[in-house]
Amino acid sequence: MAPLSHGNDRTYTEYDLMKYKLTNDALGIALWDMDVKVEDPTSTENPVTWSQELRELLGFTDEKDFPNTITALAERFHPEDSEKAFTAFAAHFIDRSGKTPYDIEYRLMHKEGTYRWYRGFGTTLRDAQGIPLRVAGAVMDIDEIKHAQSEKNEAIDTMKTVLDGLEAIIYVTDPVTGEILFTNESMRKQYGIDGSLDGHICYKVLQVGMEEKCTFCPCYQLDQEPDSVIVWETTDAITQRRHRKTDCYIPWPGRKIAHLQHAVDITDLVEAKEAIEERGKMLEILNDTAVMFLSQSVGVFEETMTSGMKLLCDAMTIDRVSVWRNAKILGTLHTSQIYRWDRESGGTTTPTPGLEDVTYQDLAPRWEELLAGGDVVNGPSRLLPEAAMLQSFGVVSAFVVPVFINQAFWGFVLFEDRISERYFSAESIDIMRSAAFLCANTVILNENHERDRLLTEKVKSALLETQDANEAKDIFLSRMSHEMLTPMNAITGMSQIMSIIGVPDKLRDSHKQIETASRQLLDLINDLLDMTGRGHGSFALMKAPFNFYSMVENIVEVISPAINEKRQTLDLHVDLTTPRTLIGDERRLIQVINNLLLNANKFSPEESLIVLSFTNESFPENLEEDGIVYLKVKVKDEGIGISEEQQEEIFKLFEQVDGGLTRKIGGVGLGLPLSEHIVTLMGGRIWLESEPGKGSTFTFSCKLKKG
């Protein structure tokens, strides 16, 4: 094989050629060679030899197609690349130090007429002075690599465009050097950077006073586990915004690996979350306070208010709360402070003196309309129209909420910050409205409790007075009756002695009157004594055997004179199944029957009919079982009768249907209540049926024992 070229004393050997061939085949590299005659890179005097491979690389077959001239190659350069290629070659050629490399990429036109990408590189053999002697060059087809790279670049450009459009903050750095390779628009915007950050060192521009890679850099972990994804949260040193960051390694052109950080600004989210949590906490406190207030038991109002208000006020950083109630006086709306809670003085305190019934005009003229319309007053006192008034009370910031009860403007609650100037937050306004309503309601509730308590106390003491008066009356009655009993016994005794001795004819009527009157008086005294519990002794019934039929005879005998006097008829019915001997209080039984008969006699006209009947209501089995006799006694008359309303009343003590009539007839309204009492003690009851003008029927039942 002939040597490729001759020049000075250097020739290609067989071995060189073999190596060259191998390289050419393996890498697709084609060589050329230039013998330097003049030190001018563009001179046509310097003979150039294109290898056969180079010709073939460009689609040519032999020297005729592609002669060994510089022009043959020069005319195939892409117009955009030719100058660059010659400049690079010239720079290399003329640099006698040999330090300027020649290695560039350019496009050459293929024989087919299409441009392809090539890499051209070469080296120059120089003499001791650096004067070029000979140049060996190579051309390599890199079209495919180039296309693949440009596709990759396009993909990266697309990725960058997409990343730029994202709201998230994204940047890519070299994990080793910290060099910033890319930042998206959101990132630059947040950091207030106009130009590009590319090429800067991340910790120098994105941190404050950091001279070395940050110790907290996720790269340390990613270096250990390059496939992992790290999610973390931090507050940015420059923007002071809260970021949720996601870090990972990604491939990046020209780098082995790059570190991508994706950050989402969660400051608003965190703040919103905190606000919600704050609101939740406040609502919880409000709820606790509400439960505390509403379940407060009477008498512990101050305690409950003091601790409840403290809970609320601590949560809302409030130093003083006052509750104001409206009142219309002569057509003008006034308001009074009715409750005050004061952190400084330790809780519930008495309302500020002098703040009763002040007009809104005097207090804060615009408040009446404003609050009645449901609006609130909110802000530093200094900036409010009523600054002077508020500041005179030491209010630094005020929050005034109206209170409506039953849809009417009831008053307001004033919350005070006595230390700092502030506006109460929108989140707390609702809560404070509820708190105000709660305070006002609790105060009202307490007032109601207080009123009820006072009322109950009054009623109680009035009742006690009545009770005392009743007892005094009873004692008086019982004493009086006892006092009267002795002389009465003397009178009746004397009158009986007179009957025994014999009364002269002309005195017989008078004696009779004395006897009747004294007996009646004695009965009355006994009744009175019975009613007052025999002078506070017991009203116990006697239990003794008596002859039932003799008792009936006795009753008839006693009432007969009065019946006869009014020419009335007494019709007697006796149930003969009634046992002869009964055990019980005969005297009391007679007392009840006599009372009923006397009333019938008193309240019935002359010549009318009075029926007295005794029925044995016992059932044989009862009788056998416990020997009880159920007796029913009925007294029926054709008298004046008793109206339905009066029927209810006549069993009450000292009740008489018609005071006037009774004065004529006599009696004090003691008999029936006493009868009822006795009958009840005897295990029975008394009732009546009556129709005014037609008559009355009194019936009573009682339990006696068979003797």
Residue from 122, 402, 579, 639 touching ligand ADP (CB under 6 A): that is 639
Residue 608 interacting with ligand ADP (CB under 6 A): no
In the complex, minimum distance from the CB of residue 657 to ligand ADP, in angstroms, rounded to a whole number: 3
Instruction: With beta carbons less than 8 A apart as the criterion, state whether 260 and 170 touch.
Output: yes
Residue 637 interacting with ligand ADP (CB under 6 A): yes
CA 7/CA 47 separation, integer angstroms: 10
Closer residue to ligand ADP, CB minimum distance, 91 or 668: 668
Instruction: With beta carbons less than 8 A apart as the criterion, state whether 76 and 109 touch.
Output: yes
Closer residue to ligand ADP, CB minimum distance, 201 or 642: 642
Count other Cβ atoms within 10 Å, centred on residue 601.
21
Best CA proximity match to 457, nearest among 298, 349, 302: 298
Residue 642 interacting with ligand ADP (CB under 6 A): yes
Closer residue to ligand ADP, CB minimum distance, 404 or 651: 651
CA 105/CA 107 separation, integer angstroms: 7
In the complex, minimum distance from the CB of residue 692 to ligand ADP, in angstroms, rounded to a whole number: 9
> Where does this chain touch ligand ADP (CB under 6 A) — which range of 128-136, 247-255, 311-319, 597-605?
597-605
Residue from 398, 431, 440, 640 touching ligand ADP (CB under 6 A): that is 640
Residue from 122, 132, 579, 667 touching ligand ADP (CB under 6 A): that is 667
Residue from 315, 384, 631, 672 touching ligand ADP (CB under 6 A): that is 672
Closer residue to ligand ADP, CB minimum distance, 24 or 697: 697
| Per rule CB under 6 A, count of chain residues that contact ligand ADP | 20
Best CA proximity match to 125, nearest among 12, 4, 34, 48: 34
Q: Half-sphere exposure (CA, 13 Å, Cβ side) for 208? A: 7
In the complex, minimum distance from the CB of residue 511 to ligand ADP, in angstroms, rounded to a whole number: 25
What sections of 58-191 are H helices per DSSP?
A: 70-74, 82-94, 143-165, 185-190
Residue 603 interacting with ligand ADP (CB under 6 A): yes
Residue 579 interacting with ligand ADP (CB under 6 A): no
Count other Cβ atoms within 10 Å, centred on residue 240.
8
In the complex, minimum distance from the CB of residue 469 to ligand ADP, in angstroms, rounded to a whole number: 22
Best CA proximity match to 281, nearest among 311, 238, 242: 311
Residue 670 interacting with ligand ADP (CB under 6 A): yes
> Where does this chain touch ligand ADP (CB under 6 A) — which range of 269-277, 296-304, 320-328, 661-669?
661-669
Count other Cβ atoms within 10 Å, centred on residue 303.
14
Give how far Cα 10 sits from Cα of 33, 134, 620, Å.
12, 9, 162
CA 202/CA 547 separation, integer angstroms: 127
> Where does this chain touch ligand ADP (CB under 6 A) — which range of 186-194, 457-465, 533-541, 660-668?
660-668
> Where does this chain touch ligand ADP (CB under 6 A) — which range of 20-28, 113-121, 426-434, 666-674?
666-674
From its phi and psi, is residue 46 left (phi > 0), alpha (psi between -120 and 50) or beta? beta
Residue 700 interacting with ligand ADP (CB under 6 A): no
Closer residue to ligand ADP, CB minimum distance, 186 or 656: 656
Give how far Cα 658 sits from Cα of 203, 512, 640, 665, 668, Å.
113, 29, 11, 10, 11
Closer residue to ligand ADP, CB minimum distance, 348 or 595: 595
In the complex, minimum distance from the CB of residue 661 to ligand ADP, in angstroms, rounded to a whole number: 7
> Where does this chain touch ligand ADP (CB under 6 A) — which range of 89-97, 279-287, 550-558, 670-678?
670-678
Residue 647 interacting with ligand ADP (CB under 6 A): no
> Where does this chain touch ligand ADP (CB under 6 A) — which range of 339-347, 444-452, 620-628, 638-646?
638-646
Count other Cβ atoms within 10 Å, centred on residue 287.
11
- Helix (H) / strand (E) element for 291: namely helix 267-294
Residue 184 interacting with ligand ADP (CB under 6 A): no
Record the tokens describing residue 341, joined without a space: 């809670």
> Where does this chain touch ligand ADP (CB under 6 A) — which range of 39-47, 149-157, 583-591, 655-663?
655-663
Residue 595 interacting with ligand ADP (CB under 6 A): yes
Residue from 696, 699, 702, 704 touching ligand ADP (CB under 6 A): that is 696
CA 164/CA 172 separation, integer angstroms: 12
Radius of gyration of the chain (CA): 63
Residue 74 interacting with ligand ADP (CB under 6 A): no
Instruction: With beta carbons less than 8 A apart as the criterion, state whether 554 and 512 touch.
Output: no
Closer residue to ligand ADP, CB minimum distance, 5 or 696: 696
Closer residue to ligand ADP, CB minimum distance, 398 or 670: 670
Residue 657 interacting with ligand ADP (CB under 6 A): yes
In the complex, minimum distance from the CB of residue 599 to ligand ADP, in angstroms, rounded to a whole number: 3
Residue 570 interacting with ligand ADP (CB under 6 A): no
CA 247/CA 78 separation, integer angstroms: 44
Please provide the DSSP assignment of 34-75 as one string: EE-SSS-TT-TTS-EEE-HHHHHHTT--STTTS-SSHHHHHT
Residue 68 interacting with ligand ADP (CB under 6 A): no
Partners of 196 in the beta sheet?
Answer: none
In the complex, minimum distance from the CB of residue 688 to ligand ADP, in angstroms, rounded to a whole number: 8
Residues 517-536 that bind ligand ADP (CB under 6 A): none
CA 252/CA 152 separation, integer angstroms: 10
Tell me what percent of the chain is helix, strand and coil, each rounded to the nearest 5.
45, 25, 30
CA 441/CA 620 separation, integer angstroms: 69
> Where does this chain touch ligand ADP (CB under 6 A) — which range of 53-61, 288-296, 318-326, 593-601?
593-601
Residue 699 interacting with ligand ADP (CB under 6 A): no
Binding to ligand ADP by CB under 6 A, coded x per residue (else -) over 349-378, reads: ------------------------------
In the complex, minimum distance from the CB of residue 524 to ligand ADP, in angstroms, rounded to a whole number: 8
Q: Which long-range contacts (CB under 8 A, 24 or more apart) does 152-159 make?
A: 152/253, 153/253, 156/252, 156/253
Give me the residues that bind ligand ADP (CB under 6 A), please: 595, 599-600, 603, 637, 639-640, 642, 650, 656-658, 662, 667-672, 696
